Chains A and B, each alone.
Chain A
Amino acid sequence: MFNKYIRHILVYSLICCAFACKKDDNLNLDYFDQQRPPVKGPIDDWIMTNYTTPYNISVRYRWEPFEVPINKVLVPVREEVVVPAMQMVKDVWLAPYVKERGVEFMKRYAPKQFVLVGSAQYESDGSIVLGTAEGGRQIALFVLNDFDKKNLPEVKRMLHTIHHEFAHILHQTILYPREYKQITPGGYTATWYNTSDAQALAMGFITPYSRSSADEDFVEMVSTMLVEGQQGFDALLASTSPAGRATLRQKEAMVIAYFQDTWNIDFRSLQATTQQAIIDATK
C-alpha cells in the first residue's frame, strides 16, 4: 500500500532537494589579520638561526599576556639581555647535551618554547620563582633583567634554573626509580624556606629547595651537580656532616645511574663538558 505513494514521495523529495536553501557564506579570514605579527628585527633573526632552525625551539621574549600567570605582577625582558642570555643557555645547556647525545635527542626532548620574563615571580610566602617547566613543552625563565655575564653567581643561578627545569622535563618523560624517594622520605616539607643551606646539607639535601619534594630534590641534585661540577659538588659534601655526606652520595649515585640507564648519558662526561662551558662562557 505504501508502494503506491513511494513514487510520489520520491519525486517530491527530489524537488525539495533541488530547491533547498543553500547557505552561501564564504569563510571569513579577517580574524587572521588581527594577529599582526610584529616586524622582525636582529634579535628575531638570531633566535631563528640559533634555536628555531636547528632545534625547532621558539623563544618568546616579547610579552604575551597569557603565557605567564595572570595573577602575578611580572614585567617583560630588556631587549639587550635576550641574545647574551640565550647564547649562554645554548652554550651551557643545549651544547653539552648535544655533545653527549646528539642533535636529535635535544630536538626531541628539549622544550619547544622558552618564555622570557624580566622580573622574578613573587610568591605570597615570600619566596620568588626563578623558572617553571610546563609539561615538557615550555620553560619560563625569570629574573632575566638581572642577567650579567660577568656576575658568576648570577650566571650560575640562571644556569641552575635551566638545568633544573630540563631535568624536570626528563623525569616527567621517564620517571626516576622510586627508590630515590626512600632515601630521605621524612625530610620533605612545604616550609623548606625555613631551612638554611648548612642545615639542608646536614640532613642529606643538596639545597633547602630540594626539601620541598622528591621531584625537586632530584632535579636540584642534577642541576647542582652540573652547574657546580664534580669538584664543586665534592666540596659541598666535604663541608657537612658524615651522615649528610653519605646520604648525598647515595642520591648522587642514583642520579648517575638514572642518566646512564634511562637516557644512555655518561653523566660524568656531561658534567665535565658543562663545567668547561661555564668557564668559557663567563670569562
Chain B
Amino acid sequence: MKNIILFGALLVLLFTGCRKNDDDPVFGRTPDERLNEVLNKMQQELSSSPYGWKAVLYPDGGAGYGFYFTFTNNNRVSMLTDIAAQTTATQNNSTWRLKALQRPTLLFDTYSYLHLLSDPDPRVIGGEAGFGFLSDFNFGLDSLHGDTLDMTGISQNSKLILIKATNEEAAAYKNGSLKTIQEEIDAYMQATPFLSLEGSTEKYTAFLNGTTRNFSMSKAVNGSLVTQKDAFGYTNRGIFLKKAFNIGGHSFREVIWDRTKKQLYIMVDNKRVDLVGSDKPTFALHQMIGVDLAGILVPPNPIIGWTSPFYTIWKQADTNLRNGDYGFQLYYTEMTFDKEKDNMIYTVYLVFRGRLYAGKLRFSYTQTADGIFAFAYQDIVDQIGGLIEKDVQPLVNLLNTNKFKIEFLYPAAGGILGKVTSVDTPDMSFSGQLQ
C-alpha cells in the first residue's frame, strides 16, 4: 500500500510539473506590439512636423527627384516636386496612410505628383510604356532616427529619404526654390560644365548632369579614372545625393548652390570646399563618356564635325526609312554609353505623321586606354527598334565595321560638342551635343 501511494504521488508530480513557459518575446514585447509602436511613432512624426518634410526620391530606374511634403493627421498630404516646372510651384493635394505590411509601410494611396514617376502611361512624363520610371509610391520603413526617415519602395526598391524641414526651408520650398535652384544650377553647368575641387591631398574633377540627374566625382589614379557616381534630386538649396561620397576619408551628401557667389560647394568636415567651374575639361571625353557624360545626341542635319561621307550614309538610312512600310523620317540619333555594362544604346528618333517616336538598338563596346572605341551590334531593344533595324543598316554597319576616336570639339562660335571620328575610314566623322 505504501508503495502505491508513493508511486501515485510521484506520478502526480510528474503530470502536474509545469513546463517552463519559454515563449517570452525576445525583445520583451510581441512583434505586433513593436510594430504598432513604430506605426504610432511614424504617424506622430509625419503629421506633427511643424514645417513639413523635405525629401528626395530615387526611383529604381535611376535619377533622383526632390520633394516637399506636408502630412496631416487626417490622412491628407500636399506636396511640391522638381519633376516639372508646374510641380515646383503648385501644391498637389492627395492622401496617405500607414499600413502594417512586412514592415511599417507608408502608402501614398491616391494619385499625386509622386505617382508621375510610377505611371506606366508614357504620355504622362515620358516614362517607359508599362513601367514608368520604375519608381514606387508605397514605402517600407528602414529606419527612423532623429529628424530622418529612410524608406525603401516595396515594389521596385526605390529609396526615399525624408528630413524634417525648418521654417526657412519650408518657406523656400513654398516660394518655388526647387525651380530657381534647378534653373540656376543648369545655367551655371551650361557655361562651365567641368567642375574641379581640391581635396586635402588630391584634386578631383566633378560633373553634375542635370539631364540624367547624376553627379560624378573622379580622381586620376595611375593614369586611369576612379569615379564615384550616384543619382541626386534637387532641394531648396542644391542637390542631395543617393549615397554619401567619400573625399579623402570625409564624406558629403549635398552639393550646395551659393546663389550670391554663383558657385557650387560642399561641406567637408564642417569646412566649405568650393567647386571650381571651367568650360574646359580636365579629362578627355573618352574618359568621361559612359561615366560623367551619358552620350552624344546627333542632330538630323550636318553641323561642324560632320563630314560628307557620313552625311551620305545618314541620308541613305533616312531614304530607306521614308521608303519603308511606315514612311518614317529620320530625326535625331543618340548614342548612350553605360561603361559599367559595356553597353551602348543607339536610339533612333523618328517622325511619323507629325509625332515623335524612338527605336532602340543595343551595341556592346570596348575602349582602349587611349580612347579607341569598337562597337558590336547585339540586338534590338524595343518593338520600334525591330521595325527600323533593316532600314538603318547603313548607320549600324558604320558603327560595326569601324573603330572610332571620341573627343571634345570646340566650335568657334562657343560651346562644346562630342565628335566621333573613324580611325579606319578616311574623312568619316560626325558630332553632336553632349548628354
Interface residues of A (CB under 8 A from B): 5, 8-9, 11-12, 15-16, 19-21, 23, 28, 30-31, 33-36, 38-39, 41, 61-65, 70, 72-79, 118-120, 122-123, 126, 145
Contact = CB atoms under 8 A, between A and B. Distances in A.
Interface in B101-155: 101, 105, 107-111, 115, 118-121, 129-132, 134, 137-138, 154-155
Given A61-B110, A62-B97, A62-B109, A126 B12 contact: no
Interface in B142-176: 154-155
Interface in B1-22: 4-5, 8-9, 11-12, 15-16, 18-19, 21
A79 B30 CA distance: 37
B83 interface: no
A15 B110 contact: no
A76 B111 contact: yes
> Which 3 residue pairs across A and B have the least CB separation, nearest first?
A122-B130, A34-B100, A63-B109
Given A31-B32, A33-B36, A12 B8 contact: yes
B156 to A, nearest CB: 8
A70 B155 contact: yes
B206 interface: no
Nearest to A21: B18
A36 B109 contact: no
B416 interface: no
A122 B129 contact: yes
A119 B16 contact: no
Given A36-B97, A65-B101, A16 B12 contact: yes
B340 interface: no
B98 interface: yes
Q: Dominant SS at the A interface?
A: loop
B154 A75 contact: no
B75 interface: yes
B39 A34 contact: yes
Contacts of A123: 130
27 contacts: A8-B5, A12-B12, A23-B21, A28-B32, A30-B33, A30-B36, A33-B36, A36-B39, A36-B97, A38-B75, A41-B74, A62-B97, A62-B110, A63-B107, A63-B108, A63-B110, A65-B107, A65-B138, A72-B130, A73-B120, A75-B115, A75-B119, A76-B137, A77-B110, A79-B95, A118-B115, A122-B130
Nearest to A4: B4
A30 B31 CA distance: 10
A30 B109 CA distance: 24
A16 B383 CA distance: 77
Nearest to A18: B16
A126 B73 CA distance: 42
A75 B118 contact: yes
A72 B35 CA distance: 28
B110 A16 contact: no
Contacts of A63: 107-110, 137-138
A12 B107 contact: no
A145 B111 contact: yes
B243 interface: no
Contact of A28 (B12, B30, B94, B100): B30
Nearest to A145: B111
B203 interface: no
A41 B72 CA distance: 14
Contacts, number: 119
Contact of A21 (B8, B19, B100): B19
Contacts of B41: none
Contact of B15 (A20, A76, A79, A122): A20
Nearest to B1: A8
A30 to B, nearest CB: 5
Interface residues of B, number: 49
Contacts of B129: 122
A61 B95 CA distance: 11
A12 B16 CA distance: 11
Nearest to B120: A73
A8 B4 contact: yes
A75 B359 CA distance: 26
A36 B33 CA distance: 14
B250 interface: no
Contacts of A77: 110-111
Interface in B28-48: 30, 32-33, 35-36, 39, 43
B259 interface: no
A256 B119 CA distance: 40
A137 to B, nearest CB: 22
Contacts of A20: 15-16
A64 B138 CA distance: 10
Contact of B110 (A28, A78, A122): A78
Contacts of B39: 34, 36
Given A5-B4, A20-B15, A73-B131, 15 more contacts: A11-B8, A12-B8, A20-B16, A21-B19, A34-B99, A38-B75, A62-B97, A62-B109, A63-B110, A72-B130, A73-B134, A75-B115, A118-B119, A119-B121, A122-B131
Contacts of A19: 12, 16
A34 B43 CA distance: 12
B111 A75 contact: yes
Nearest to B115: A75
Given A5-B4, A145-B111, A16 B15 contact: yes
B382 to A, nearest CB: 11
Interface in B242-280: none
A34 B19 contact: no
Given A33-B36, A36-B39, A79 B97 contact: no
A10 B116 CA distance: 75
B374 to A, nearest CB: 34
Given A34-B39, A75-B118, A75-B119, A65 B97 contact: no
B16 A39 contact: no
Nearest to A63: B109
Given A30-B30, A65-B138, A119 B120 contact: yes
Contacts of A75: 111, 115, 118-120, 132, 137
A2 B137 CA distance: 73
B115 A76 contact: yes
Contacts of A62: 95, 97, 109-110
B36 A73 contact: no
